[in-house]
């Protein structure tokens, strides 16, 4: 049975379906991924054989490729949410864009040598169940 995964952007204009399994799940801490995600790292799932099918809003998907690099990201032109992209036959899917639960656990933290200096000690930050009161 083929694994089916679904997802969409924040505004809901773009939705997609992925048929097939993810092989890797990396948390990338490089400066490019931090800028692209606006966070400490990007959380991306990777697949070499899965197929992406846009269900709605494909005309609202824009792709940015950093010249002279392999770094590429796709996003919704309405809300800016990261969306799946294909880089030389490799499907890259932002884990946060998925509506289907992610069963694959992260494979590795990568590019730790360029992580943000403020990321050290995050495990000691208070953990709240909701917004601060």
Answer left, alpha or beta for residue 88, where phi above 0 means left and psi between -120 and 50 means alpha: left
Q: To which H or E segment does residue 24 belong?
A: strand 24-28
Per-residue confidence in pLDDT tens, the chain, 133 aa: 789 999 999 999 999 999 999 999 999 999 999 999 999 999 999 999 999 999 999 999 999 999 988 889 999 999 999 999 998 889 999 999 999 999 999 999 999 999 999 988 888 999 999 999 8
State the pLDDT at residue 12.
Answer: 98
pTM: 0.92
Q: To which H or E segment does residue 108 belong?
A: strand 108-110
Q: Where are the domains of the chain?
A: 4-115
Average pLDDT over the chain, rounded to an integer: 94
CATH number for the region 4-115 comes to: 2.170.150.70
Distance of CA 70 to the CA centre of its chain: 15
């Amino acid at each position: 049975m083929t694994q089916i995964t679904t997802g969409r952007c924040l505004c809901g204009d773009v939705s997609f379906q992925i048929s097939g399994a993810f092989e890797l799940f990396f948390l990338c801490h490089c400066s490019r991924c931090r800028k692209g995600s606006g966070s400490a790292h990007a959380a991306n799932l990777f697949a070499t054989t899965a197929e992406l099918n846009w269900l709605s809003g494909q005309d609202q998907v824009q792709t940015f490729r950093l010249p002279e690099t392999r770094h590429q990201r796709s996003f919704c032109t309405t809300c800016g949410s990261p969306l799946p992209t294909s880089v030389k036959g490799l499907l890259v899917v932002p884990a946060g864009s998925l509506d289907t639960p992610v069963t694959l656990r992260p494979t590795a933290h990568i590019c730790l040598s360029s992580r943000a200096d403020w990321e050290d000690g995050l495990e000691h930050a208070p953990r709240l169940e909701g917004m601060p009161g």
